[in-house]
Amino acid sequence: MTSALTLAVVVAAGVGGSPEHRERFTGWASALCEALTAAPAPPTVRLVVERPEEAPPSAPRPCAPRGRSTRDELEAQLVAAGGDIAEGGGLLVVLIGHGSGGPRPRFNLPGPDLSPENLRDILARATAAPVTVAHLGSAAGAFVPALSGPGRVILAATRARETNETRFPEHFVAAFVGGEADRNRDGNLSALEAFVYARDAVERDFDRDGLLRTEHAVLDDNGDGVGSGDPKTEAGTDGVLASRTPLLATTEQSVLAAGEEDAAIRSLLARREELAARVDELRNVRGAIPEGAYFAELETLLLEIAGITEEIARLRGESDPPAKTPGGAQGRSGPA
Amino acid sequence: MRPDHGRAFLLRAGELPGAALALLLPVVSAAQQPTAAGAEALRAGRYEEAMKLYREALGRDPASAPARLGLAEALRLTGAYPEALEALAPAGNQPEILVAEAHIHLETGAGEAARAALTRAREAADEADPSTSVEVSGLLGRLELRLGERAAGLARLDEVLDAYNRSPPGTLSPRALTAVGQAAVALGFQSSGLFRDALRVFDEAAALDPHDPLPVLAAGELLFDKFNTAEAGDSFASVLSKNPRHPRALVGAARIRRPGVGGASPGGPAAAMEIADPLEMALAVNPDFPPARALEVERLLERERYEEAGERARAAVRATPGAPETLAALASFAFLSGETDELEGIRGRYAAAWPGDPRLDVALGRAAERQRRYREAAGFAGNALAGSPESAAAARLLGLNLLRLGDMARGREVLEAAFLRDPFDALLKNNLDLLDELDGFRTIRKPPFEFVLPESEADLLAPYVEELAREALEDFGTRYGFEPGGTVRLEMYDRSADFSVRTVGITGIGAHGVCFGRTIAMESPSARPVAEYHWASTFWHEFGHTVAMGMTDNRVPRWFTEGLSVLEERKRFGDGANLLFLTALRDGRLLDVKDLNDGFTFPTFPGQVQVSYFHASLVLEQIERDHGFDAILGVLGAFREGKDTGEALIAVLGMDAAALDAAVDATIEARYGAAARSIGAAPSSGSDRPPPAVSGTELDAVLITAAASPEDFVARMRAGIALFEAGRDADAADHLEEAAAILPSYGGADSPLRYLASIHERNGRPGEARKALSGYLARFPAAYAGWLRLAEMRTASADPEGAARALEAAIGAYPLLADPHEKLAGLAAASGRHAIELRERKAVLATDPPDRAGALHQLAAAHFRAGEHTAARRRVLEALEVAPTYEPALRLLLRLRREG
């Protein structure tokens, strides 16, 4: 399992084809970079765009474009990013722009386009670490078979034959802002959570507008080269690896946990992670267990997790009392 | 999903050898020229000219059968039935003459005379010519069915099909083929494939004789009966393009162009269908054509013009005493006007003359249905079905009315049985598909209500729908003394097409809700874009109908029940006139009270239905204001006793409709007259909004117009909006304030107050902004975003109660988005209103938020605050099931555990 703390990131905004699209693609790429670099444990982000000279001078330094998003420059940045990856870490590659399908699928870049095979070969040269690729453009699904493999999470905004402009990137980027997409509230945004958040938002968009969906996002992480539209966390299916691939630390606590030096706390954190995994396993077999028994077992696990969490807070000397009376809080923060 | 087609009957495919067509082309001699010219005139609908030419031909050759037949046909088509029979009499032993005679008797309803003529024709037919025999047998078989001689009729029609199957291709005449097709239609209940075969045979006949309208008309009528109005329209248009005065085609076109039955342009009819009023034309050509006279009466009844309908129906029966159509029309009048003795008399006559023809009960059922008397409609349909179990029309009528009465199981059973016999019936298929869809809906029983909601929206909608329904029951119950007397079923559809099918059987209805008494069907909020539809006021409106129909035993006239519903809607949700109403007032197009029904059933200008809704509500308002609320109850009581509008007004108000009109007109003039007259630029046809704003170089022109017409609401609005969009707030405000002063009750989506609120807000005048926005929303409650904005403004001005009210209103406008629920939950939590907080937290969860764990935890906490620890525990476990390390939820779990 990689850690969000040890992730290296390359974001490429491809060729826009029009000023509006160029601005939009560059904007999303910059927004994603800013969200990543504003996180409690920011990764190194290498950003390449179609026209770096048009990047606003006010852009935060970590998100200043490293160059033009040509195929050569992208390759150079990917190889360099391979060097950024710390031990146990991984690489996140995000492609924002137009894609084309058909027998020779491409991601459109200034100059020569990028084929699935190009990217596969570049990644092979760049790193042996786990890689997550998020292709957010049209016909993205055509990249899945070539990139799929062990340790690989491939998110594609569309199936291979869907060539309309995508709505997915806007929501994928939004998943990195605000913490709402962290469904399991563990302080880390996983690749699966980012995918599900964006996929569901796209679906709501089309429903709201009364349109037939022209994009169906897929995710492949079991190495079979076939993307799934509804990845799960059940063994053998697409989704398991993605659920364990954090892309962003959303809370200080998660950063703290990752860098924990106290042996006793580390032990408690490990036990808690183990229990959380058992909750996941239990949830996957929910239908096969009588409801009463299911919730009893669930509660047992959760009470132990709660106790551990309380103990960790005590050991850390945190002031927040563990069982404060819930109040009338508004918004998304917890009431207790 | 139901199959689209049934099994085909094994009729042979018609083949047309080229020689057969050649045989039909006549060689015209000089002596035959007037006959040929007469035929051409007849085909073109120049009937008088045709008669003259045929008479000339008969003068030259009295033995000319074509001339005699042509003359009789021209006379028949123009309604000169005795003269037509007289013209045929001299050649009365020839089979084709006897068949023509039979056609006249059939049209005028002389069944036994028709049978006699056909019997003689069969005896006189040349055995070597199978066509006449097939045609006669077809006519006779169908006649026997209608005369109640079912076995004989069916056997004879089977023989017709057998004869067709045995005959070598190309040997049967077009008329014989048409008879074969009609026999197949009559036997269609035995095998659904026969309908398709019938269409094919009609096509075969039409190809053999392109001049003969009969097969095309028969096809059109069959298609219309199966609710394929587009293709039916094409058939009638095809006939009318050659003969624009063909009565039967005109009646067919008139039926298609009835409001609510496919509209004016089903599938883009040809120019021939654009005849101003096909029914009027049909009656002008043949004033005694029974189907036309029956349709005329039907329309008068629909407009609730009973006296006129009675006169016309009686005249029709005098003209053609035995015609089933006219008898059915008179019976419909007698039923709707409560003339029970007359009704029984007609029923007796009809049963004696046409014991096997369900048309009378079907017509009665339709008349009852049109007047919203669904129980009686089902009763008549049941009678029809008992006498003619194969009648698709009767089954359809029964099934649909059972569904309207909320008897879903029996209704479905009847429709399923009918569909098995006739899978080509679009209305049956649509409704059964809809029932399949409804199987996936959630039914929530909360006596006396039964809510049927889309499964995906049920969790979210149910609390609000139930709360509003209970409020309506309490409110209407208190003021009207109304008790439903049974289950009130509310169906909400998330697809407009499904709602439309539920309402009229086909897609494309423009309404949002419909009431069948204790069954209400309406669109769910998700069926329409945000701010274009206000579900809560729609329910309130429809429940008003439930009350009005319930209190009158469904005898309330359309105008009154609509007026009552709109008045109640205005009282509860807001009140405002729109430009359609004002321009109709300006143009003198408001109807008198006695004619108000026409505004709903037969509108004559775009937007008249909307105008009539508002106008009717003003009439009800006038009654309440001048005579007290009890007067409305009194009028409802009078309708229940069977009184019509005029009688009810005199009985309760002591004034006739004209006097009430005068009072209403005076109120309207005082309230809206000046503003209406000031409107210079009429809005585009059917629009309820001022013309769109302008920009750039047009701005000067708009400002000049506003300066020249300072009292013109539309001119002021255009100037105000243009300036607003140009960022000239101060100038814009001047015009918009003037517009608001000219027409303070304006209730359109683009009220001047809406713009003024924005101007005040962006110029730092929050108090004035709130006031303007509140004023706007009071007259246009569907403005979802406006309510949210008002809630924000009130929150900013430390008015949480006001903010909560605005959020409740936003939910009333559109409850399917999480935002107002989250905000209202927060306000409720802050003020300790646990019930509201819980409702809103559940609503947030039902919106399927991305942060499900967070929403579950908030709900758990709300339960905890409300002292509901069991529910809190369950919800917090569900939150942690999604997010097992979610610390606030873990803390709540521990707290619950420790507190027990």
DSSP B827-850: HHHHTT-HHHHHHHHHHHHHT--S
The reported pLDDT for the residue numbered A59 is 63
The reported pLDDT for the residue numbered B605 is 86
pLDDT > 80? residue B494: yes
Which of B434, B420, B331 has the alpha carbon at shortest distance from B384? B331
The reported pLDDT for the residue numbered B482 is 95
Reported as a single tens digit per residue, the pLDDT across A152-161 is 999 999 999 8
Q: What mean pLDDT is predicted for residues B77-99?
A: 92
* CB-based contact, B895 to chain A, within 8 Å: yes
pLDDT > 90? residue A33: yes
Is the ipTM, as predicted for this complex, more than 0.85?
A: no
CB contact under 8 Å between A275 and B851, yes or no, is no
Separate counts of helices (H) and strands (E) for chain B: 47, 5
A235 to chain B, closest Cα gap in Å: 17
- Cβ partners under 8 Å of residue A320, min gap 6: A313
Which range, of A24-38, A198-212, B15-29, B628-642, averages the lowest pLDDT? B15-29
The reported pLDDT for the residue numbered A58 is 63
B891 vs A contacts (CB less than 8 Å)? 306, 310, 322-324, 334, 336
* CB-based contact, B834 to chain A, within 8 Å: no
pLDDT > 60? residue B274: no
pLDDT, mean over chain A: 88
Q: Is B84 in contact with B110 (CB distance < 8 Å)?
A: no
B858 vs A contacts (CB less than 8 Å)? 335
* CB-based contact, A295 to chain B, within 8 Å: yes
Rg for chain B (alpha carbons), in Å? 33
Residue in B829, B848, B888 closest to A334 by CB: B888
Q: Which residues pair with B493 in a beta bridge?
A: B523
A334 vs B contacts (CB less than 8 Å)? 854, 857, 861, 886-889, 891-892
Residue in A187, A298, A331 closest to B877 by CB: A298
Restricting to A residues 210-269, those with a Cβ less than 8 Å away from any Cβ of B are 210, 253
Reported as a single tens digit per residue, the pLDDT across A126-157 is 999 999 999 999 999 999 999 999 999 999 99
The reported pLDDT for the residue numbered B39 is 93
- The Cα–Cα gap between B876 and B892 comes to 7
pLDDT > 60? residue B391: yes
Amino acid residing at B156: R
Six token digits for residue A204? 């709501």
Reported as a single tens digit per residue, the pLDDT across A243-298 is 989 999 887 777 777 777 788 998 999 999 899 989 988 988 888 999 999 999 99
Reported as a single tens digit per residue, the pLDDT across B590-608 is 999 999 998 988 888 888 9
pLDDT > 50? residue B209: yes
pLDDT more than 70, % of chain B? 91
Number of CB pairs < 8 Å for A and B? 130
Sort B323 into a burial class: Cβ within 10 Å, 0-12 / 13-18 / 19+: buried
The reported pLDDT for the residue numbered B108 is 96
Candidates B533, B795, B877, B887: best to mutate against A (most CBs of A within 10 A) is B887
Per-residue confidence band for B17, with pLDDT thresholds at 50, 70 and 90: very low
Which of B483, B627, B611 has the alpha carbon at shortest distance from B559? B611
CB contact under 8 Å between A305 and B850, yes or no, is no
* CB-based contact, B892 to chain A, within 8 Å: yes
* CB-based contact, A287 to chain B, within 8 Å: no
Q: Is B365 in contact with B377 (CB distance < 8 Å)?
A: yes
pLDDT > 80? residue B490: yes
Reported as a single tens digit per residue, the pLDDT across B734-755 is 999 999 998 887 877 888 999 9
More confident residue, A316 or B205: B205
Q: Which residues pair with B449 in a beta bridge?
A: B446, B488
Per-residue confidence band for B860, with pLDDT thresholds at 50, 70 and 90: very high
Reported as a single tens digit per residue, the pLDDT across B119-165 is 999 988 877 778 999 999 999 999 999 999 999 999 999 999 999 99
CB contact under 8 Å between B887 and A303, yes or no, is no
pLDDT more than 90, % of chain A? 65
A233 vs B contacts (CB less than 8 Å)? none
Reported as a single tens digit per residue, the pLDDT across B325-334 is 999 999 999 9
Which of A165, A154, A175, A158 has the alpha carbon at shortest distance from A238? A154
Reported as a single tens digit per residue, the pLDDT across A233-255 is 777 789 989 998 999 988 777 77
pLDDT > 50? residue B79: yes
Reported as a single tens digit per residue, the pLDDT across B332-369 is 999 999 899 999 999 999 999 999 999 999 999 999 99
Of A181-190, B183-192, B213-222, where does the model show the most confidence?
A: B213-222
The reported pLDDT for the residue numbered B692 is 58
- The Cα–Cα gap between A53 and A50 comes to 9
The reported pLDDT for the residue numbered B32 is 62
CB contact under 8 Å between B882 and A184, yes or no, is yes
Residue in B830, B885, B894 closest to A328 by CB: B830
Per-residue confidence band for B25, with pLDDT thresholds at 50, 70 and 90: very low
CB contact under 8 Å between B882 and A329, yes or no, is no
pLDDT > 50? residue B395: yes
CB contact under 8 Å between A299 and B854, yes or no, is no
Distance of CA B633 to the CA centre of its chain: 28
The reported pLDDT for the residue numbered B1 is 36
The helix or strand, by DSSP H or E, that contains position B449, with its residue range, turns out to be strand B449-453
* CB-based contact, B851 to chain A, within 8 Å: yes
| Ramachandran area for residue B87 (φ above 0: left; ψ -120 to 50: alpha; else beta) | alpha
Measured CA to CA in angstroms, residue B571 lies from B499, B520, B539, B574, B805 at distances of 26, 21, 14, 6, 17
CB contact under 8 Å between B895 and A328, yes or no, is no
Six token digits for residue A155? 């998110």
Which of B337, B18, A180, B804 has the alpha carbon at shortest distance from B329? B337
- The Cα–Cα gap between B588 and A12 comes to 66
* CB-based contact, A189 to chain B, within 8 Å: no
The reported pLDDT for the residue numbered B91 is 84
The reported pLDDT for the residue numbered B229 is 85
Residue in A184, A322, A324 closest to B884 by CB: A184
Per-residue confidence band for B629, with pLDDT thresholds at 50, 70 and 90: very high
A126 to chain B, closest Cα gap in Å: 35
Q: DSSP per residue over B645-691, as a string?
A: HHHHHHHHHSS-HHHHHHHHHHHHIIIIIHHHHH--SPPSTT-SSPP
pLDDT more than 90, % of chain B? 68
The reported pLDDT for the residue numbered B415 is 92
Measured CA to CA in angstroms, residue A282 lies from B87, B234, B850, B879, B884 at distances of 93, 64, 22, 14, 12
The reported pLDDT for the residue numbered B270 is 40
The CA dihedral of B180, B42, B32, B127, to the nearest 10 degrees, is 20
Restricting to A residues 111-130, those with a Cβ less than 8 Å away from any Cβ of B are none
A306 vs B contacts (CB less than 8 Å)? 890-891, 893-894
pLDDT, mean over chain B: 88
Residue in B865, B885, B897 closest to A276 by CB: B885
A193 vs B contacts (CB less than 8 Å)? none
CB contact under 8 Å between B894 and A283, yes or no, is no
- The Cα–Cα gap between B563 and B542 comes to 12
Per-residue confidence band for B2, with pLDDT thresholds at 50, 70 and 90: very low
Buried (b) or exposed (e) across B334-349, using 16+ Cβ within 10 A? bbbbebeebbeebbeb
CB contact under 8 Å between A184 and B890, yes or no, is no
Reported as a single tens digit per residue, the pLDDT across B61-74 is 998 999 999 999 99
B794 to chain A, closest Cα gap in Å: 17
Tell me the whole-structure pTM to 2 decimals. Answer: 0.80
Per-residue confidence band for B681, with pLDDT thresholds at 50, 70 and 90: low
Restricting to B residues 508-547, those with a Cβ less than 8 Å away from any Cβ of A are 529
A295 vs B contacts (CB less than 8 Å)? 874, 877
Q: What three-state secondary structure class fits A66?
A: coil
Per-residue confidence band for B202, with pLDDT thresholds at 50, 70 and 90: very high
**Sign, CA torsion B209/B210/B211/B215:** positive
pLDDT > 80? residue B484: yes
Number of C-beta neighbours around residue B1 at 10 A: 7
B881 vs A contacts (CB less than 8 Å)? 279, 283, 298
* CB-based contact, A314 to chain B, within 8 Å: no
CB contact under 8 Å between A299 and B885, yes or no, is no
Which of B404, B413, B408 has the alpha carbon at shortest distance from B378? B404
* CB-based contact, A183 to chain B, within 8 Å: yes
Residue in B857, B865, B885 closest to A186 by CB: B885
CB contact under 8 Å between A306 and B893, yes or no, is yes
- Cβ partners under 8 Å of residue B784, min gap 6: B530, B531, B810, B813, B814
pLDDT > 90? residue B513: no
CB contact under 8 Å between A335 and B832, yes or no, is no
Candidates B885, B886, B892, B894: best to mutate against A (most CBs of A within 10 A) is B885
